[in-house]
Amino acid sequence: MGHPWHDSEGTAETVVFVLDADENWVALGPNVRLVSTRDPLLDRSLLRDRDSEGAVLVRWNGVADSKIVAIINMAQALANAQDRGEGDVDSFDAAREREDTAESLLEREWMDTEEGAVDYEPGAILRAFKRSMEGADDP
C-alpha cells in the first residue's frame, strides 16, 4: 500500500522499510532522513535520524554506501509527498513564495566600473609561481 505512483484514492499510509544487520525490516517513521555513522566498537554502520547525534534507527554490517543512503532518503521524500493531502501546501511551493516576497534579500549594489578601472592585484599563487620559475633557471 502507498506506492508513490498509485492514485491518491488507492493508498493508505506510505512506509519505507530498511533491512538491518539482523535481517529484520525496520519501518522508518514519517519525515525521517538517514545519516550514516561508523559504530565505534563494531565493524558496522549506524543509520541515524537527521544527524550524527540522532537516534540510531538501523544497524548495518560493514560500511553504508552513501549512494544507498541517498536513495533511501529519496524514497522517504516520495513517501512524504504521497502521504500529503491533495490540498496541503507543498513545501517547495512555500519556499518559492518566500523567495518571491523576500525582495530585500535579492537587492544587491554593484559598483560602477569601466574597462581597465579595476587594478588586478596578483595573489599568492602567482607570486609563488614566479618564484618557482626564477629558481628553475638556477643550475
Encode pLDDT of 6-16 as tens digits. 655 655 678 89
Q: Give the least confident one: 29-38, 74-83, 97-106.
A: 97-106
Between CA 77 and CA 23 the distance in angstroms is: 24
Q: What is the pLDDT of residue 15?
A: 86
Between CA 50 and CA 41 the distance in angstroms is: 22
* Residues 48/18, Cβ–Cβ less than 8 Å: no
Tell me the mean pLDDT in the region 18-35. Answer: 93
Is a pLDDT exceeding 70 seen at residue 19? yes
- What is the rounded average pLDDT for all residues in the chain? 79
Write the CB contacts of 70 (distance below 8 Å, at least 6 apart in sequence).
none
Q: What is the pLDDT of residue 34?
A: 95
Write the CB contacts of 79 (distance below 8 Å, at least 6 apart in sequence).
2, 4, 14, 15, 16, 30
* CA contacts within 13 A on the Cβ side of 125: 0
Q: What is the pLDDT of residue 83?
A: 76
Confidence grade of residue 81 (pLDDT, cut at 50, 70, 90): confident
Encode pLDDT of 91-137 as tens digits. 767 777 767 776 555 566 666 666 665 555 556 677 777 777 877 65
Write the CB contacts of 32 (distance below 8 Å, at least 6 apart in sequence).
49, 50, 57, 76
Tell me the mean pLDDT in the region 23-27. Answer: 95
Name the percent of the chain lying above pLDDT 70: 67
Confidence grade of residue 78 (pLDDT, cut at 50, 70, 90): confident
- Would you give the end-to-end CA distance of the chain in angstroms? 77
